[in-house]
Amino acid sequence: MQKIILDCDPGMDDALAIITGLADKNIDILGITTVAGNVELYHTTRNALNLLKYLDEDIDVYSGKDKPLLRDLNTATEFHGETGMGDIDLPNSSMESSKDYAEFYLKYAEKFPQEIELVAVGPLTNIAHALTEYPELKYLLKGITIMGGSLCGGNITPYAEFNIYVDPEAANIVFNSGLIVKMIGLDATMKGHFTADELEDIRKSDSKYSKVTMEIFDAMFRVRGKIGMTSVVFHDTIALLSAIYKDAFKFEEKPILVETGDRRGKTTENFKGGKILVAVDFNKEWFKKYLIETLK
Ligand SMILES: [Ca+2]
């Protein structure tokens, strides 16, 4: 089993990643940390807590930073709805989040040195802060897998992918941290887009994981249909899976610098950037079979 700490900004994409991570017997989620991104921190934290209650799973949630290092927060409510979960009403969890997320990273990294993959599927604010506060994390973590970036054009501007755009300064800190960073950006994740028909096989299962996945998948179509989208992409789930199922991806090592000027958030190949393992391709057919099999 691969030990994972998941840093996220749920967000429907993130919710799907959480569900898949819980359903997969090869993944051991030690805890979830939340960051501001798709929606504000209050909502990302409540969504994580409420989703775990809905799934009847006992996992600690830590809330992290409520705004990017240097900038105001840009949210993505047009993709995720005002509260982040589209029009889904999750039951209200009575659990509360803890605040000391960076201490949580350190405590577990010391307990399991070189065993934990930190998977970050939101803006990299929490990770940049934690690495600055506790530089020893760089020696204690196995690596960092991120959903973010793109070498093939953006999804929030023509240049930038959303997570990197929101906090480009944080991304540069993480990319230059010396940790092994795997960048699962749009080059790979956009290969994993599905129309409503393509995932009907998941609906045939009545497991809690399949049911909630399809509830979210349907809500994604309702919310994003309004802005003309006819397929959805499992960005965050795909990034999570790259930490375990490396054969489904093609990686190339490249020096990547994050631009902070006019082309804010663009991940550019530049010798001044950190050495990053960039996912340049992804096997959609494998993913479809994996989802049906894992969630059922
Ligand atoms: Ca996310």
Q: pLDDT tens across 87-103, in order?
A: 898 999 999 998 899 99
**Interval between CA 217 and ligand 1 midpoint (Å):** 15
**Interval between CA 10 and ligand 1 midpoint (Å):** 6
Type of residue numbered 137: L
Residues paired with residue 4 on neighbouring β-strands, in sequence order: 29, 117
> DSSP E strands: which ranges in the chain?
2-8, 27-34, 61-63, 116-120, 143-147, 181-184, 193-194, 232-233, 249-258, 267-269, 274-282
**Interval between CA 108 and ligand 1 midpoint (Å):** 23
pLDDT at residue 80, rounded to an integer: 83
How many whole angstroms from its chain centre is CA 218?
20
CA distance 137 to 131: 6
pLDDT at residue 150, rounded to an integer: 97
Q: Which among 40, 44, 42 is positioned nearest to 32, based on CA atoms?
A: 44
Q: Which among 40, 269, 286, 260 is positioned nearest to 171, based on CA atoms?
A: 260
- pLDDT-derived band of residue 14, with 50, 70 and 90 as boundaries? very high
CA distance 157 to 265: 9
CA distances from 141 to 111, 116, 132, 245 (A): 11, 5, 14, 19
Q: Which among 44, 56, 60, 45 is positioned nearest to 19, based on CA atoms?
A: 56
pLDDT at residue 159, rounded to an integer: 96
CA distance 209 to 57: 11
Average pLDDT over every residue of 290-296: 94
Angle among Cα 97, 99, 100 to the nearest 5 degrees reads 125
pTM score, whole prediction: 0.96
Q: Please confirm, yes or no, whether 235 is among the known catalytic residues.
A: yes
Every domain of the chain and the residues it spans = 2-295
Q: Are 216 and 203 in contact (CB under 8 A)?
A: no
Residues paired with residue 8 on neighbouring β-strands, in sequence order: 34
Interval 264-288: pLDDT, tens? 999 999 998 889 999 999 999 999 9
DSSP 11: S
> DSSP E strands: which ranges in 36-159?
61-63, 116-120, 143-147
pLDDT at residue 79, rounded to an integer: 82
Residue 86 exposure: Cα atoms within 13 Å on the Cβ side: 19
Report strand pairing: 143-147 vs 181-184.
parallel
Residues paired with residue 85 on neighbouring β-strands, in sequence order: none
CA distance 127 to 34: 11
Architecture of domain 2-295: Alpha-Beta Complex (3.90)
pLDDT of 82 above 90: no
pLDDT at residue 196, rounded to an integer: 87
Q: What is the token pair recorded at 152?
A: 């093939």
pLDDT of 73 above 90: yes
CA distance 157 to 219: 24
Q: Are 121 and 240 in contact (CB under 8 A)?
A: yes
pLDDT at residue 238, rounded to an integer: 98
Q: Are 170 and 125 in contact (CB under 8 A)?
A: yes
pLDDT at residue 81, rounded to an integer: 84
Average pLDDT over every residue of 192-209: 90
CA distance 98 to 92: 17
pLDDT at residue 40, rounded to an integer: 96
Q: How many residues belong to the chain?
A: 296
**Interval between CA 206 and ligand 1 midpoint (Å):** 26
